[in-house]
Chains A and B, each alone.
Chain A
Amino acid sequence: MGIKLYREPGLENPIMFVGWPGIGNIGIMAVNILRDILKAEELGEIESWDFFYPKKVSIRDGLLENLEFPSNTFYYQRLEKKDVLFFIGEEQPTEGGRMYASGEKAYRMANLVVDMGLKLGCQRIYTSGACVSLTHHQMRPRVCAVVSSENLIEEVKQYPNTILISETGGRGEGEGTITGLNGLLLAVAKKRGLESMCLMGEIPDWLSGATFPYPKASRSVLEVFAEILGIEMDLNFLKKMEGQVEEIIEGFYVKFPPKTKEEYDQRKSVAPVEPGTITVQAKIYVDERFKGGGGEGGEKPS
C-alpha cells in the first residue's frame, strides 16, 4: 500500500501543484488545465484501494476483468525555469460519510503526497481551492492566499490580483479554516519542512453549494500559476465554459427578489480589500438544487 512510481524523472528542486475536487472545482480545474498546458507526463500514483470504494467494475463473459478506483496521479514536466510536479486526486478520501476529506485517511493521503514531494526534492507545494466570500458573481474573482511561513507573504503580494486571506474582510479575528485536503496538505507539508501555499479563487457565498464549476475563479488562479512559473498562458479557451456558467448564474440572479438583489448588488460597490465586519447580509434566493452542499471544502468566513 502506498506510492507506485513509474519512472525516475530526475527533477531539480521541483515545485508541486496539487488539486482535489472542492467547491466549484476551482482548484482542481486550475491544476488540471495547467497540467494540460504544460503537457505533463504521468509519473506515478497513490494506490487507491485503501482510500476509496471502487467506482467501476468490468465483467466480460463472466470474468471479472478490472476494478476501477478514483485516480490519484502524479505528473511531471521539466520547464526552462523550473521543474514541476503535479498531483491530482479524483476524490477526497472521507470517513463517516462526509463530503470532503476528513480523518486518518485524509491525513495519510496528505502524507503520501508529501512523501513523493520529498523523494523528488520538492521544496514547495501549492494547493488550490475556493475562497467563499461576499463577492459578486459579476466581479473578477480575486485569489486569496494562505501561506506556511511569513517569508512567503512578500512573494504573494507580488502576484497579480492576489490578496492574503486576512485582507478579504469579514473573518472575525483573522482566523478561519481551509477544509478538505487542499487545506490539510498545507499543514502536513509545513510539519514536514516544506513550504506550502494555498491559492484560492473567490466564489460568491451563494454559489458555494452549486453543482457546476466556477471557471472564472479557476482562471484567476491560473493567472497566478503563470506568474509563479514565469510563463505566458493563453486562457481564451476558457471563455466558452465561463459563458455557459455565467448564463446559468444569471438565470438565478434575475429571479432574486428585488430587495435581495439590491443588497447583493451593493457588494459590487464595497471596497473589495478592506477588512472589517460583513455589512451586506443578503438573503440568498437559492434554487432547491443548491441546498445540501457547500458546508465543506473551501475557506469560509468564520
Chain B
Amino acid sequence: MLMNVLKEAVGKVEKNPVEIHKVPQLQSPSLIVGWQTQDIGKLGLGVIDFLIEKLGGKLIAEINPLGFFNFTGVRFKDDLVQVPESKFWACEKDNLLILKSDEPGFEHYHFLNSILDFAEDQCGAKELYTLNGALSYVAHTHPCKVLTVFNKPEIKARLRDYELEDMNWEGPPAISSYLLWIAKRRGIPGVSLWPEIPFYLAAREDPQAIKLTLSFLNMRFNLGLNLERFDQEIEHQNAKIAQRRKEDAEIDKALSALERGQRLEEEEQLKLAREIYELLGK
C-alpha cells in the first residue's frame, strides 16, 4: 500500500526548481510580481508587459513548472495552447526584478519560497511588490483607488505619501497575500497593490487600473515612463461605453446606479458584465 501511495506522487518538484539563464547586474532591486492566472482586468499582464517592454527587461530565469502545475493535459484559450510559465526578467538600468507567472496549482509554499530564494539569494532583492486587480462596484467613470496590503508597518510608513488606500479584509487569501506572508517571515518588506477594477471590466483589460498602478510604480522608482498611451485607451474605451449607454437604456440605468453608489441585482450585474464584455471585444 505504501508503495502505491508513493507512486501517486506524480511530477515531483525539484529541490531548486529555478533555472537561471543569466545572473543579472542588480543592486538590491525591488521584486515586482504579476500573476497572469485569474488576472482581473488583465492588470498583472498589462503592467508587467509594459514594464518589460519599456524598461528593456531581459529574461534571466524561470521556474521549472513540473510539480507545481497540472500536467494531466493542456489548457487552451482562444484556440491557443497555454503553457504555464513563471519567468523572471531583469531591468538592470532601473534596478527592478520582475516575475510574470501563472499561479501554481500545487506546492504553493515551495513555489513561493522558490521565488524569494531566487530574488534574495541570486539578486539581493530587498522589497516585494505584488499586483492584483480588486473587483469593485465602482463605476469606470469614477476615480479608482489602489487598495494596499503591507506586510510590515515600516514599509507602510515609507509609502504613506503615495495615494494608497488601506485594505481591510478577512477571508480566503489570494496567492499574493500568501507570498507577502512568506516574505514577512523571511524579513522582506512587501506590499500588495490592488487597484479597484469595475466588475464589468474584469474579463477585459482595464487601462485605467493599469495606468493607475504604473503611475505609482513610475513615481516610486523614478522610471520616467510615458503613460499617454493609456490615456488614449481609456478615452477610447469610455467612448465605446458612453455610446452603448445612449443606445441601451438598461445599461445606462445600471451604470448610473453604480455612479450613485448603489448596488445592482445579480441579474443586472450579469447583464452589464456580459454586454460590456461583448462590446469591448468588438
* A interface list, Cβ under 8 A from B: 49-50, 53-64, 67, 95-97, 102-104, 106-107, 177, 183-184, 187-188, 191
Contacts and interface: CB of A to CB of B under 8 A. Distances in A.
Contacts of B150: 62-64
Contact of B171 (A49, A50, A57): A57
A64 B151 contact: yes
Interface string B1-15: 110011011101000
Contacts of B181: 54, 57, 64, 67
B168 interface: yes
B168 A103 contact: no
B149 A62 contact: yes
A57 B177 contact: yes
Nearest to B11: A96
Given A64-B177, A104-B9, 13 more contacts: A53-B108, A53-B178, A57-B169, A58-B170, A59-B149, A62-B167, A67-B177, A95-B10, A104-B6, A107-B6, A184-B1, A187-B1, A187-B2
A102 B109 contact: no
Interface size on B, as a range, is 35 or more
Identify whether the interface residues of B are mostly helix, strand, loop, or mixed: mixed
Nearest to B110: A50
Contacts, number: 96
A222 B150 CA distance: 47
A177 to B, nearest CB: 7
A59 B168 contact: yes
A64 B2 CA distance: 40
Given A64-B180, A95-B8, A191 B170 contact: no
A73 to B, nearest CB: 19
Contacts of B87: none
B9 to A, nearest CB: 4
Contacts of A188: 2
Contacts of B9: 95, 102-104
B204 interface: no
B2 A107 contact: yes
Nearest to B165: A62
A59 B178 CA distance: 12
B106 A107 contact: no
Contacts of B108: 53
Interface in B92-139: 105-106, 108-110
Contact of B173 (A56, A62, A183): A56
A177 B184 CA distance: 43
A298 to B, nearest CB: 15
A94 to B, nearest CB: 9
B125 to A, nearest CB: 18
A191 B2 contact: yes
A96 B156 contact: no
